[in-house]
Structure 1
Amino acid sequence: MAVAGSTPSTSGDRWIAAMPAVFVLIWSTGFVVARYGMPHAPPFTFLAVRFFLSMLCLGLWARLADAAWPTSAKQWGHLAVTGLLMQAGYLGGVWAAVRWGIGAGTVALIVGLQPLLTTLWVTARPGAAVGSAGHERLGRRHWVGLLMGLCGLALVVGPKLGHGEVTPINLGLALVALLSITAGTLYQKHHVRPCDVRTAGGVQMMAALALTAPIALAELTLGGATVDLHPDLFGAMAWSVLVLTLGGSSLLYLLIARGAATRVTSLMYLVPPCTAVLAWLLFDERLDASMAAGIVLSVSGVLLVVRSPSARS
Protein backbone atom coordinates (compact mmCIF):
# COMPACT_ATOMS: atom_id res chain seq x y z
CA MET A 1 0.00 0.00 0.00
CA ALA A 2 1.29 3.45 -0.84
CA VAL A 3 2.58 5.50 2.07
CA ALA A 4 0.68 8.73 2.77
CA GLY A 5 2.26 11.61 0.93
CA SER A 6 4.07 9.43 -1.58
CA THR A 7 3.26 8.91 -5.26
CA PRO A 8 2.00 5.42 -6.11
CA SER A 9 4.58 3.75 -8.31
CA THR A 10 2.63 0.80 -9.68
CA SER A 11 -0.84 0.20 -11.09
CA GLY A 12 -1.63 -1.86 -7.98
CA ASP A 13 -0.72 1.03 -5.70
CA ARG A 14 -2.82 3.41 -7.78
CA TRP A 15 -5.80 1.08 -7.54
CA ILE A 16 -5.42 0.82 -3.76
CA ALA A 17 -5.23 4.62 -3.49
CA ALA A 18 -8.39 4.97 -5.60
CA MET A 19 -10.40 2.34 -3.70
CA PRO A 20 -12.13 4.76 -1.26
CA ALA A 21 -13.36 7.09 -4.03
CA VAL A 22 -14.55 4.19 -6.19
CA PHE A 23 -16.33 2.66 -3.19
CA VAL A 24 -18.19 5.89 -2.37
CA LEU A 25 -19.37 6.29 -5.96
CA ILE A 26 -20.54 2.67 -6.23
CA TRP A 27 -22.19 2.64 -2.80
CA SER A 28 -24.07 5.86 -3.57
CA THR A 29 -25.76 4.27 -6.57
CA GLY A 30 -27.47 1.77 -4.28
CA PHE A 31 -30.03 4.36 -3.22
CA VAL A 32 -30.62 5.34 -6.86
CA VAL A 33 -31.08 1.69 -7.85
CA ALA A 34 -33.73 1.32 -5.13
CA ARG A 35 -35.74 4.07 -6.81
CA TYR A 36 -35.61 2.21 -10.12
CA GLY A 37 -36.32 -1.28 -8.83
CA MET A 38 -38.58 -0.88 -5.82
CA PRO A 39 -41.83 -0.07 -7.67
CA HIS A 40 -41.63 -3.39 -9.51
CA ALA A 41 -40.88 -5.96 -6.77
CA PRO A 42 -41.28 -6.32 -2.99
CA PRO A 43 -38.01 -5.59 -1.17
CA PHE A 44 -37.07 -8.99 0.23
CA THR A 45 -38.06 -10.79 -2.96
CA PHE A 46 -35.72 -8.51 -4.91
CA LEU A 47 -32.97 -9.00 -2.35
CA ALA A 48 -33.35 -12.79 -2.18
CA VAL A 49 -32.91 -13.02 -5.96
CA ARG A 50 -30.00 -10.59 -5.75
CA PHE A 51 -28.26 -12.64 -3.07
CA PHE A 52 -28.83 -15.87 -5.01
CA LEU A 53 -27.39 -14.46 -8.24
CA SER A 54 -24.53 -12.81 -6.35
CA MET A 55 -23.72 -16.12 -4.65
CA LEU A 56 -23.55 -17.85 -8.03
CA CYS A 57 -21.35 -15.13 -9.55
CA LEU A 58 -18.96 -15.06 -6.60
CA GLY A 59 -18.79 -18.86 -6.54
CA LEU A 60 -17.98 -18.99 -10.26
CA TRP A 61 -15.40 -16.21 -9.86
CA ALA A 62 -13.78 -18.08 -6.98
CA ARG A 63 -13.77 -21.31 -8.97
CA LEU A 64 -12.16 -19.75 -12.03
CA ALA A 65 -9.54 -18.06 -9.85
CA ASP A 66 -9.03 -21.20 -7.75
CA ALA A 67 -9.58 -19.05 -4.66
CA ALA A 68 -9.25 -20.67 -1.24
CA TRP A 69 -12.38 -21.08 0.89
CA PRO A 70 -12.26 -20.64 4.69
CA THR A 71 -10.95 -23.77 6.35
CA SER A 72 -12.45 -23.46 9.84
CA ALA A 73 -16.07 -23.64 10.96
CA LYS A 74 -15.44 -20.60 13.18
CA GLN A 75 -14.41 -18.48 10.19
CA TRP A 76 -17.48 -19.63 8.26
CA GLY A 77 -19.61 -18.65 11.25
CA HIS A 78 -18.05 -15.20 11.56
CA LEU A 79 -18.50 -14.55 7.84
CA ALA A 80 -22.11 -15.70 8.06
CA VAL A 81 -22.78 -13.21 10.87
CA THR A 82 -21.31 -10.37 8.79
CA GLY A 83 -23.48 -11.47 5.88
CA LEU A 84 -26.60 -11.36 8.02
CA LEU A 85 -25.73 -7.90 9.33
CA MET A 86 -24.09 -6.16 6.37
CA GLN A 87 -26.20 -7.69 3.62
CA ALA A 88 -29.59 -8.93 4.88
CA GLY A 89 -29.96 -6.47 7.78
CA TYR A 90 -28.56 -3.37 6.10
CA LEU A 91 -30.02 -3.83 2.63
CA GLY A 92 -33.27 -5.26 3.96
CA GLY A 93 -33.74 -2.21 6.17
CA VAL A 94 -32.91 0.27 3.40
CA TRP A 95 -35.07 -1.33 0.71
CA ALA A 96 -38.02 -1.94 3.03
CA ALA A 97 -37.82 1.67 4.26
CA VAL A 98 -37.90 2.92 0.66
CA ARG A 99 -40.84 0.60 -0.03
CA TRP A 100 -42.69 2.18 2.91
CA GLY A 101 -42.29 5.67 1.48
CA ILE A 102 -39.06 7.16 2.81
CA GLY A 103 -36.96 9.04 0.29
CA ALA A 104 -33.54 7.90 -0.87
CA GLY A 105 -31.90 11.06 0.48
CA THR A 106 -33.53 10.69 3.88
CA VAL A 107 -32.57 7.06 4.35
CA ALA A 108 -29.06 7.96 3.16
CA LEU A 109 -28.89 10.59 5.91
CA ILE A 110 -29.97 8.11 8.59
CA VAL A 111 -27.55 5.40 7.45
CA GLY A 112 -24.91 8.13 7.15
CA LEU A 113 -24.84 8.35 10.94
CA GLN A 114 -22.82 5.13 10.92
CA PRO A 115 -19.41 6.81 11.37
CA LEU A 116 -20.63 8.62 14.48
CA LEU A 117 -22.01 5.40 15.99
CA THR A 118 -18.80 3.58 15.15
CA THR A 119 -16.73 6.31 16.77
CA LEU A 120 -18.86 6.30 19.92
CA TRP A 121 -18.54 2.52 20.18
CA VAL A 122 -14.79 2.54 19.60
CA THR A 123 -14.38 5.26 22.23
CA ALA A 124 -16.53 3.45 24.79
CA ARG A 125 -15.10 0.01 23.97
CA PRO A 126 -11.60 0.45 22.54
CA GLY A 127 -11.21 -3.29 22.05
CA ALA A 128 -14.26 -3.39 19.78
CA ALA A 129 -12.30 -2.30 16.72
CA VAL A 130 -8.99 -4.05 16.75
CA GLY A 131 -6.29 -2.62 14.56
CA SER A 132 -2.61 -3.29 14.13
CA ALA A 133 -1.87 -1.40 17.31
CA GLY A 134 -4.54 -3.24 19.28
CA HIS A 135 -7.11 -0.46 19.36
CA GLU A 136 -8.00 2.96 17.97
CA ARG A 137 -7.85 6.13 20.01
CA LEU A 138 -9.53 9.24 18.67
CA GLY A 139 -8.14 12.75 18.97
CA ARG A 140 -9.77 16.17 18.83
CA ARG A 141 -9.28 16.54 15.07
CA HIS A 142 -11.00 13.22 14.55
CA TRP A 143 -14.06 14.31 16.54
CA VAL A 144 -14.18 17.70 14.79
CA GLY A 145 -14.10 15.96 11.42
CA LEU A 146 -16.92 13.61 12.38
CA LEU A 147 -19.09 16.49 13.60
CA MET A 148 -18.36 18.47 10.42
CA GLY A 149 -19.48 15.51 8.39
CA LEU A 150 -22.67 15.19 10.42
CA CYS A 151 -23.48 18.88 9.93
CA GLY A 152 -22.81 18.51 6.22
CA LEU A 153 -25.25 15.63 6.01
CA ALA A 154 -27.91 17.67 7.74
CA LEU A 155 -27.47 20.49 5.22
CA VAL A 156 -27.69 18.09 2.28
CA VAL A 157 -30.79 16.10 3.16
CA GLY A 158 -32.24 18.01 6.10
CA PRO A 159 -34.72 19.98 3.95
CA LYS A 160 -36.31 16.67 2.90
CA LEU A 161 -37.31 15.91 6.49
CA GLY A 162 -40.50 17.03 8.18
CA HIS A 163 -42.81 16.83 5.17
CA GLY A 164 -44.72 13.65 6.02
CA GLU A 165 -42.06 11.53 4.41
CA VAL A 166 -40.88 9.89 7.63
CA THR A 167 -43.21 7.56 9.55
CA PRO A 168 -42.57 5.34 12.59
CA ILE A 169 -42.43 2.28 10.33
CA ASN A 170 -39.99 3.50 7.70
CA LEU A 171 -37.90 5.30 10.32
CA GLY A 172 -37.64 2.06 12.30
CA LEU A 173 -36.60 0.15 9.18
CA ALA A 174 -33.93 2.76 8.38
CA LEU A 175 -32.60 2.51 11.93
CA VAL A 176 -32.40 -1.28 11.55
CA ALA A 177 -30.23 -0.69 8.48
CA LEU A 178 -28.04 1.78 10.38
CA LEU A 179 -27.51 -0.54 13.34
CA SER A 180 -26.89 -3.52 11.06
CA ILE A 181 -24.18 -1.91 8.94
CA THR A 182 -22.50 -0.46 12.04
CA ALA A 183 -22.52 -3.74 13.96
CA GLY A 184 -21.45 -5.68 10.88
CA THR A 185 -18.47 -3.42 10.23
CA LEU A 186 -17.25 -3.66 13.82
CA TYR A 187 -17.89 -7.41 13.96
CA GLN A 188 -15.90 -8.05 10.79
CA LYS A 189 -12.99 -5.93 11.97
CA HIS A 190 -12.89 -7.73 15.31
CA HIS A 191 -13.63 -11.36 14.36
CA VAL A 192 -13.05 -12.08 10.68
CA ARG A 193 -9.55 -13.15 9.74
CA PRO A 194 -8.15 -12.04 6.36
CA CYS A 195 -9.35 -14.32 3.57
CA ASP A 196 -10.15 -14.20 -0.13
CA VAL A 197 -12.78 -11.55 -0.83
CA ARG A 198 -14.59 -13.74 -3.38
CA THR A 199 -15.08 -16.72 -1.10
CA ALA A 200 -15.82 -14.45 1.87
CA GLY A 201 -18.50 -12.73 -0.19
CA GLY A 202 -19.91 -16.09 -1.24
CA VAL A 203 -20.35 -17.16 2.38
CA GLN A 204 -21.96 -13.82 3.23
CA MET A 205 -24.42 -14.16 0.34
CA MET A 206 -25.37 -17.68 1.48
CA ALA A 207 -26.20 -16.41 4.96
CA ALA A 208 -28.11 -13.41 3.65
CA LEU A 209 -30.11 -15.62 1.28
CA ALA A 210 -30.98 -18.04 4.10
CA LEU A 211 -32.58 -15.15 6.02
CA THR A 212 -34.28 -13.28 3.18
CA ALA A 213 -35.66 -16.23 1.18
CA PRO A 214 -38.36 -17.16 3.76
CA ILE A 215 -39.35 -13.49 4.09
CA ALA A 216 -39.57 -13.21 0.30
CA LEU A 217 -41.80 -16.28 0.19
CA ALA A 218 -44.07 -14.70 2.79
CA GLU A 219 -44.22 -11.48 0.75
CA LEU A 220 -45.42 -13.37 -2.32
CA THR A 221 -47.82 -15.76 -0.60
CA LEU A 222 -49.12 -14.31 2.66
CA GLY A 223 -48.63 -10.68 1.64
CA GLY A 224 -50.00 -11.08 -1.87
CA ALA A 225 -47.20 -9.03 -3.42
CA THR A 226 -46.45 -9.38 -7.12
CA VAL A 227 -43.41 -8.92 -9.35
CA ASP A 228 -43.66 -6.70 -12.42
CA LEU A 229 -41.13 -7.85 -15.03
CA HIS A 230 -40.32 -4.30 -16.10
CA PRO A 231 -37.05 -3.36 -17.86
CA ASP A 232 -36.18 -1.11 -14.90
CA LEU A 233 -36.37 -4.16 -12.63
CA PHE A 234 -33.92 -6.13 -14.78
CA GLY A 235 -31.59 -3.14 -14.98
CA ALA A 236 -31.71 -2.62 -11.22
CA MET A 237 -31.02 -6.31 -10.62
CA ALA A 238 -28.08 -6.41 -13.02
CA TRP A 239 -26.53 -3.31 -11.47
CA SER A 240 -27.16 -4.60 -7.94
CA VAL A 241 -25.44 -7.93 -8.61
CA LEU A 242 -22.60 -6.97 -10.92
CA VAL A 243 -21.69 -3.53 -9.56
CA LEU A 244 -23.02 -3.16 -6.02
CA THR A 245 -22.35 -6.69 -4.74
CA LEU A 246 -19.34 -7.81 -6.76
CA GLY A 247 -17.87 -4.31 -6.74
CA GLY A 248 -19.15 -2.31 -3.76
CA SER A 249 -19.44 -5.06 -1.15
CA SER A 250 -16.07 -6.50 -2.15
CA LEU A 251 -14.47 -3.07 -1.85
CA LEU A 252 -16.05 -2.53 1.57
CA TYR A 253 -14.66 -5.88 2.74
CA LEU A 254 -11.18 -4.96 1.51
CA LEU A 255 -11.31 -1.47 3.01
CA ILE A 256 -12.33 -2.80 6.43
CA ALA A 257 -9.62 -5.45 6.25
CA ARG A 258 -6.97 -2.85 5.39
CA GLY A 259 -7.96 0.10 7.60
CA ALA A 260 -9.17 1.19 11.03
CA ALA A 261 -12.91 0.81 11.46
CA THR A 262 -13.67 4.46 12.20
CA ARG A 263 -11.58 5.70 9.28
CA VAL A 264 -13.23 3.29 6.86
CA THR A 265 -16.77 4.08 8.00
CA SER A 266 -16.05 7.80 7.82
CA LEU A 267 -16.26 7.32 4.06
CA MET A 268 -19.99 6.72 4.54
CA TYR A 269 -20.33 10.46 5.23
CA LEU A 270 -19.67 11.03 1.52
CA VAL A 271 -22.46 8.72 0.36
CA PRO A 272 -25.51 10.99 0.98
CA PRO A 273 -23.92 14.03 -0.71
CA CYS A 274 -22.89 11.84 -3.63
CA THR A 275 -26.41 10.39 -3.73
CA ALA A 276 -27.85 13.93 -3.82
CA VAL A 277 -25.67 14.78 -6.81
CA LEU A 278 -26.65 11.59 -8.64
CA ALA A 279 -30.33 12.24 -7.95
CA TRP A 280 -29.93 15.78 -9.31
CA LEU A 281 -28.27 14.49 -12.48
CA LEU A 282 -30.61 11.54 -13.06
CA PHE A 283 -33.94 12.70 -11.64
CA ASP A 284 -33.59 16.50 -11.66
CA GLU A 285 -33.99 16.65 -7.88
CA ARG A 286 -33.28 19.98 -6.18
CA LEU A 287 -29.64 20.82 -5.44
CA ASP A 288 -29.51 24.34 -3.98
CA ALA A 289 -26.78 26.40 -2.33
CA SER A 290 -27.33 24.97 1.17
CA MET A 291 -27.04 21.43 -0.17
CA ALA A 292 -23.88 22.32 -2.07
CA ALA A 293 -22.46 23.84 1.13
CA GLY A 294 -23.32 20.63 2.95
CA ILE A 295 -21.43 18.60 0.38
CA VAL A 296 -18.32 20.74 0.84
CA LEU A 297 -18.60 20.54 4.65
CA SER A 298 -19.11 16.78 4.58
CA VAL A 299 -16.13 16.20 2.27
CA SER A 300 -13.94 18.42 4.46
CA GLY A 301 -14.97 16.53 7.57
CA VAL A 302 -14.19 13.17 6.03
CA LEU A 303 -10.79 14.35 4.85
CA LEU A 304 -10.04 15.55 8.37
CA VAL A 305 -11.01 12.15 9.81
CA VAL A 306 -9.09 10.14 7.24
CA ARG A 307 -5.96 12.27 7.49
CA SER A 308 -5.94 12.53 11.30
CA PRO A 309 -3.11 10.38 12.66
CA SER A 310 -4.26 7.87 15.27
CA ALA A 311 -2.47 8.02 18.59
CA ARG A 312 0.03 5.25 19.10
CA SER A 313 -0.57 2.85 21.94
Structure 2
Amino acid sequence: MDQLRAQLIRGVGASIALAPNPAPVMPRENSAAPVQPSVQFTSSNVEESVLSKFARFTPNNVEGFTRSTATLLPRTAKIFVVWTVLFLALLITLYSFGFAPVGILEIGDTIKSWFTSGQQSSLGVSATHAEPANLETPVVATLPATTEARILISAIGVDAPIIIPASRDLNILNDALLKGAVYYPDSGLLGAIGNVLIFGHSTGLSIVRNQNFEVFNRLQELKEGDIIRIRAEDREYWYRVRSLSIKDARETEVLMSTTESVLTLVTCKIFGGNGKESRYVVEAEFVRSYPLAI
Protein backbone atom coordinates (compact mmCIF):
# COMPACT_ATOMS: atom_id res chain seq x y z
CA MET A 1 0.00 0.00 0.00
CA ASP A 2 2.80 2.33 0.82
CA GLN A 3 4.50 1.58 -2.47
CA LEU A 4 1.28 2.21 -4.42
CA ARG A 5 0.79 5.56 -2.68
CA ALA A 6 4.34 6.59 -3.50
CA GLN A 7 3.88 5.76 -7.17
CA LEU A 8 0.68 7.77 -7.36
CA ILE A 9 2.38 10.80 -5.84
CA ARG A 10 5.27 10.54 -8.29
CA GLY A 11 2.83 10.23 -11.24
CA VAL A 12 0.90 13.29 -10.23
CA GLY A 13 4.05 15.32 -9.80
CA ALA A 14 5.31 14.29 -13.22
CA SER A 15 2.03 15.23 -14.84
CA ILE A 16 2.15 18.59 -13.19
CA ALA A 17 5.69 19.13 -14.37
CA LEU A 18 4.84 18.14 -17.93
CA ALA A 19 1.67 20.26 -18.20
CA PRO A 20 2.13 23.46 -20.27
CA ASN A 21 1.59 26.88 -18.79
CA PRO A 22 -2.02 28.02 -19.23
CA ALA A 23 -2.56 30.69 -21.97
CA PRO A 24 -3.48 34.12 -20.68
CA VAL A 25 -7.14 34.96 -20.99
CA MET A 26 -7.70 37.84 -23.48
CA PRO A 27 -10.66 40.15 -23.04
CA ARG A 28 -13.42 39.85 -25.64
CA GLU A 29 -13.82 42.58 -28.25
CA ASN A 30 -17.49 43.05 -27.50
CA SER A 31 -16.97 43.28 -23.84
CA ALA A 32 -18.85 46.19 -22.29
CA ALA A 33 -16.98 49.44 -21.55
CA PRO A 34 -16.54 50.38 -18.00
CA VAL A 35 -19.53 52.22 -16.66
CA GLN A 36 -18.92 55.93 -16.08
CA PRO A 37 -20.26 57.42 -12.97
CA SER A 38 -23.55 59.30 -13.69
CA VAL A 39 -24.11 62.94 -12.86
CA GLN A 40 -27.29 63.75 -11.07
CA PHE A 41 -28.93 67.16 -11.59
CA THR A 42 -30.45 68.08 -8.37
CA SER A 43 -32.26 71.31 -7.56
CA SER A 44 -29.28 72.47 -5.56
CA ASN A 45 -26.90 71.92 -8.51
CA VAL A 46 -29.12 73.86 -10.95
CA GLU A 47 -29.58 76.71 -8.49
CA GLU A 48 -25.83 77.01 -7.97
CA SER A 49 -25.25 77.03 -11.78
CA VAL A 50 -27.82 79.78 -12.38
CA LEU A 51 -26.50 81.87 -9.55
CA SER A 52 -22.97 81.58 -10.90
CA LYS A 53 -24.13 82.85 -14.32
CA PHE A 54 -25.69 85.98 -12.86
CA ALA A 55 -23.08 86.57 -10.24
CA ARG A 56 -21.42 89.20 -12.45
CA PHE A 57 -24.53 91.47 -12.28
CA THR A 58 -23.57 93.25 -9.16
CA PRO A 59 -25.20 96.52 -8.07
CA ASN A 60 -22.18 98.40 -9.40
CA ASN A 61 -22.49 96.77 -12.82
CA VAL A 62 -26.22 97.50 -13.01
CA GLU A 63 -25.63 101.11 -12.05
CA GLY A 64 -22.98 101.44 -14.77
CA PHE A 65 -25.32 99.91 -17.34
CA THR A 66 -28.06 102.37 -16.36
CA ARG A 67 -25.71 105.32 -16.71
CA SER A 68 -24.53 104.19 -20.16
CA THR A 69 -28.13 103.69 -21.32
CA ALA A 70 -29.12 107.13 -20.04
CA THR A 71 -26.24 108.61 -22.04
CA LEU A 72 -26.92 106.59 -25.20
CA LEU A 73 -30.64 107.38 -25.54
CA PRO A 74 -30.26 111.18 -25.85
CA ARG A 75 -27.51 110.69 -28.42
CA THR A 76 -29.73 108.35 -30.45
CA ALA A 77 -32.60 110.84 -30.27
CA LYS A 78 -30.34 113.65 -31.47
CA ILE A 79 -29.07 111.56 -34.39
CA PHE A 80 -32.66 110.68 -35.35
CA VAL A 81 -33.75 114.32 -35.26
CA VAL A 82 -30.76 115.44 -37.33
CA TRP A 83 -31.33 112.77 -39.98
CA THR A 84 -35.06 113.56 -40.11
CA VAL A 85 -34.36 117.26 -40.66
CA LEU A 86 -31.80 116.48 -43.36
CA PHE A 87 -34.19 114.06 -45.07
CA LEU A 88 -37.03 116.59 -45.09
CA ALA A 89 -34.70 119.30 -46.36
CA LEU A 90 -33.64 117.01 -49.20
CA LEU A 91 -37.26 116.26 -50.13
CA ILE A 92 -38.15 119.97 -50.09
CA THR A 93 -35.18 120.73 -52.32
CA LEU A 94 -36.11 117.96 -54.76
CA TYR A 95 -39.73 119.13 -54.76
CA SER A 96 -38.74 122.71 -55.53
CA PHE A 97 -36.84 121.53 -58.62
CA GLY A 98 -39.49 118.97 -59.63
CA PHE A 99 -37.26 115.91 -59.10
CA ALA A 100 -39.06 114.36 -56.13
CA PRO A 101 -41.01 111.10 -56.50
CA VAL A 102 -44.54 111.46 -57.84
CA GLY A 103 -46.16 110.74 -54.48
CA ILE A 104 -44.05 113.44 -52.80
CA LEU A 105 -44.89 115.91 -55.58
CA GLU A 106 -48.60 115.33 -55.08
CA ILE A 107 -48.35 115.67 -51.30
CA GLY A 108 -46.29 118.82 -51.75
CA ASP A 109 -48.84 120.27 -54.14
CA THR A 110 -51.60 119.59 -51.64
CA ILE A 111 -49.71 121.26 -48.79
CA LYS A 112 -48.77 124.16 -51.04
CA SER A 113 -52.41 124.71 -51.96
CA TRP A 114 -53.24 125.34 -48.28
CA PHE A 115 -51.06 128.45 -48.27
CA THR A 116 -51.71 129.83 -51.73
CA SER A 117 -54.71 131.56 -53.18
CA GLY A 118 -55.67 133.35 -56.33
CA GLN A 119 -57.16 132.63 -59.70
CA GLN A 120 -54.75 129.81 -60.47
CA SER A 121 -56.29 126.37 -60.11
CA SER A 122 -54.59 123.41 -58.46
CA LEU A 123 -53.49 122.31 -61.92
CA GLY A 124 -51.62 125.55 -62.46
CA VAL A 125 -53.93 126.82 -65.21
CA SER A 126 -55.10 130.40 -65.28
CA ALA A 127 -58.11 131.55 -67.22
CA THR A 128 -57.93 134.95 -68.87
CA HIS A 129 -61.11 137.03 -68.95
CA ALA A 130 -61.79 140.48 -70.32
CA GLU A 131 -62.90 141.51 -66.82
CA PRO A 132 -61.49 139.18 -64.14
CA ALA A 133 -63.98 138.44 -61.41
CA ASN A 134 -63.27 138.99 -57.74
CA LEU A 135 -62.32 135.66 -56.18
CA GLU A 136 -63.55 136.70 -52.77
CA THR A 137 -67.15 136.50 -53.98
CA PRO A 138 -68.67 133.36 -55.55
CA VAL A 139 -69.14 133.42 -59.30
CA VAL A 140 -72.21 131.85 -60.84
CA ALA A 141 -71.08 129.06 -63.15
CA THR A 142 -71.96 129.27 -66.80
CA LEU A 143 -73.48 125.83 -66.38
CA PRO A 144 -75.81 125.52 -63.38
CA ALA A 145 -74.16 123.75 -60.46
CA THR A 146 -77.09 121.33 -60.37
CA THR A 147 -76.33 120.10 -63.89
CA GLU A 148 -75.59 116.38 -64.09
CA ALA A 149 -72.78 115.91 -66.58
CA ARG A 150 -70.30 113.24 -67.62
CA ILE A 151 -67.29 113.16 -69.92
CA LEU A 152 -66.73 110.11 -72.12
CA ILE A 153 -63.60 109.49 -74.20
CA SER A 154 -63.68 105.96 -75.60
CA ALA A 155 -60.18 106.28 -77.12
CA ILE A 156 -58.58 106.37 -73.65
CA GLY A 157 -61.29 104.73 -71.54
CA VAL A 158 -62.60 107.82 -69.74
CA ASP A 159 -66.08 107.77 -68.25
CA ALA A 160 -66.22 110.19 -65.34
CA PRO A 161 -68.58 112.68 -63.74
CA ILE A 162 -68.07 116.38 -64.35
CA ILE A 163 -68.30 118.47 -61.20
CA ILE A 164 -69.62 122.00 -61.67
CA PRO A 165 -68.58 124.16 -58.69
CA ALA A 166 -70.24 127.49 -58.02
CA SER A 167 -66.98 129.37 -57.42
CA ARG A 168 -63.41 129.64 -58.68
CA ASP A 169 -62.14 129.61 -55.10
CA LEU A 170 -59.07 127.36 -54.92
CA ASN A 171 -60.30 125.27 -52.00
CA ILE A 172 -63.62 124.63 -53.71
CA LEU A 173 -61.86 123.59 -56.93
CA ASN A 174 -59.54 121.24 -55.04
CA ASP A 175 -62.48 119.61 -53.28
CA ALA A 176 -64.25 119.19 -56.61
CA LEU A 177 -61.20 117.47 -58.13
CA LEU A 178 -61.59 114.70 -55.57
CA LYS A 179 -64.99 113.87 -57.06
CA GLY A 180 -64.21 113.81 -60.79
CA ALA A 181 -63.31 116.05 -63.70
CA VAL A 182 -64.08 119.71 -63.00
CA TYR A 183 -65.77 122.30 -65.19
CA TYR A 184 -64.08 125.66 -64.69
CA PRO A 185 -66.72 128.16 -63.56
CA ASP A 186 -67.41 131.07 -65.87
CA SER A 187 -66.02 129.24 -68.91
CA GLY A 188 -68.02 128.61 -72.08
CA LEU A 189 -71.37 126.97 -72.67
CA LEU A 190 -71.46 123.52 -74.22
CA GLY A 191 -72.10 123.75 -77.94
CA ALA A 192 -72.02 127.56 -77.95
CA ILE A 193 -69.37 130.09 -78.94
CA GLY A 194 -66.75 130.11 -76.23
CA ASN A 195 -64.17 127.90 -74.55
CA VAL A 196 -65.35 125.13 -72.23
CA LEU A 197 -62.50 124.38 -69.81
CA ILE A 198 -62.45 121.02 -68.01
CA PHE A 199 -59.53 119.81 -65.91
CA GLY A 200 -58.81 116.72 -63.86
CA HIS A 201 -56.21 114.82 -61.88
CA SER A 202 -53.62 112.38 -63.18
CA THR A 203 -51.17 110.36 -61.13
CA GLY A 204 -48.17 108.10 -61.54
CA LEU A 205 -49.13 105.95 -58.57
CA SER A 206 -49.98 102.36 -59.50
CA ILE A 207 -52.61 102.03 -56.77
CA VAL A 208 -54.94 104.81 -55.63
CA ARG A 209 -57.92 104.59 -53.31
CA ASN A 210 -59.77 107.44 -55.04
CA GLN A 211 -60.11 106.67 -58.75
CA ASN A 212 -60.71 110.35 -59.49
CA PHE A 213 -56.97 110.93 -58.99
CA GLU A 214 -56.38 109.14 -62.31
CA VAL A 215 -59.35 110.40 -64.32
CA PHE A 216 -57.07 111.97 -66.99
CA ASN A 217 -54.14 109.55 -66.66
CA ARG A 218 -54.09 108.77 -70.39
CA LEU A 219 -54.91 112.20 -71.75
CA GLN A 220 -51.54 112.35 -73.54
CA GLU A 221 -52.61 109.36 -75.68
CA LEU A 222 -55.30 111.35 -77.49
CA LYS A 223 -54.74 111.89 -81.20
CA GLU A 224 -56.09 114.36 -83.70
CA GLY A 225 -59.57 113.32 -84.74
CA ASP A 226 -60.49 111.47 -81.52
CA ILE A 227 -63.99 112.24 -80.27
CA ILE A 228 -64.75 113.62 -76.81
CA ARG A 229 -68.37 113.29 -75.71
CA ILE A 230 -69.98 115.29 -72.92
CA ARG A 231 -73.41 114.49 -71.58
CA ALA A 232 -75.23 117.25 -69.75
CA GLU A 233 -78.84 116.98 -68.73
CA ASP A 234 -80.69 115.58 -71.76
CA ARG A 235 -78.12 116.24 -74.52
CA GLU A 236 -74.79 114.85 -75.68
CA TYR A 237 -72.13 117.13 -77.17
CA TRP A 238 -69.35 115.91 -79.49
CA TYR A 239 -65.95 117.56 -79.78
CA ARG A 240 -63.14 116.48 -82.12
CA VAL A 241 -59.52 116.65 -80.89
CA ARG A 242 -57.40 118.99 -82.99
CA SER A 243 -54.25 119.44 -80.89
CA LEU A 244 -52.30 118.11 -77.91
CA SER A 245 -49.55 120.20 -76.38
CA ILE A 246 -47.28 120.26 -73.32
CA LYS A 247 -47.01 123.60 -71.59
CA ASP A 248 -45.14 124.91 -68.59
CA ALA A 249 -47.47 125.39 -65.63
CA ARG A 250 -46.33 128.99 -65.19
CA GLU A 251 -47.13 129.76 -68.80
CA THR A 252 -50.34 127.78 -69.19
CA GLU A 253 -53.08 130.26 -69.99
CA VAL A 254 -56.47 129.43 -71.43
CA LEU A 255 -58.32 132.17 -73.26
CA MET A 256 -61.99 132.20 -72.42
CA SER A 257 -62.86 134.75 -75.10
CA THR A 258 -62.91 133.14 -78.54
CA THR A 259 -64.93 133.25 -81.72
CA GLU A 260 -65.15 129.45 -81.86
CA SER A 261 -66.96 126.73 -79.97
CA VAL A 262 -64.09 124.80 -78.41
CA LEU A 263 -63.32 122.48 -75.52
CA THR A 264 -60.05 122.47 -73.56
CA LEU A 265 -58.93 119.61 -71.31
CA VAL A 266 -56.00 120.06 -68.93
CA THR A 267 -54.12 117.73 -66.59
CA CYS A 268 -50.68 117.38 -65.03
CA LYS A 269 -47.80 115.90 -66.97
CA ILE A 270 -46.30 113.53 -64.42
CA PHE A 271 -43.94 111.29 -66.40
CA GLY A 272 -40.46 112.62 -67.14
CA GLY A 273 -39.46 116.20 -67.78
CA ASN A 274 -40.50 118.59 -65.06
CA GLY A 275 -43.33 116.37 -63.86
CA LYS A 276 -45.84 118.49 -62.02
CA GLU A 277 -44.38 121.65 -63.53
CA SER A 278 -45.84 120.78 -66.96
CA ARG A 279 -49.39 120.39 -68.23
CA TYR A 280 -51.02 118.39 -70.99
CA VAL A 281 -53.45 120.64 -72.84
CA VAL A 282 -55.94 119.14 -75.31
CA GLU A 283 -57.97 121.40 -77.59
CA ALA A 284 -61.05 120.11 -79.39
CA GLU A 285 -63.58 121.73 -81.71
CA PHE A 286 -67.34 121.35 -81.46
CA VAL A 287 -68.88 118.94 -83.98
CA ARG A 288 -72.51 118.37 -83.10
CA SER A 289 -75.01 117.68 -80.34
CA TYR A 290 -78.16 115.62 -80.14
CA PRO A 291 -80.85 114.91 -77.55
CA LEU A 292 -80.53 111.78 -75.47
CA ALA A 293 -84.28 111.31 -75.25
CA ILE A 294 -87.13 112.43 -77.44
Structure whose alpha-carbon radius of gyration is higher: 2
TM-score, normalised by the number of residues in structure 1: 0.24
Instruction: Select the structure that is richer in helix.
Output: 1
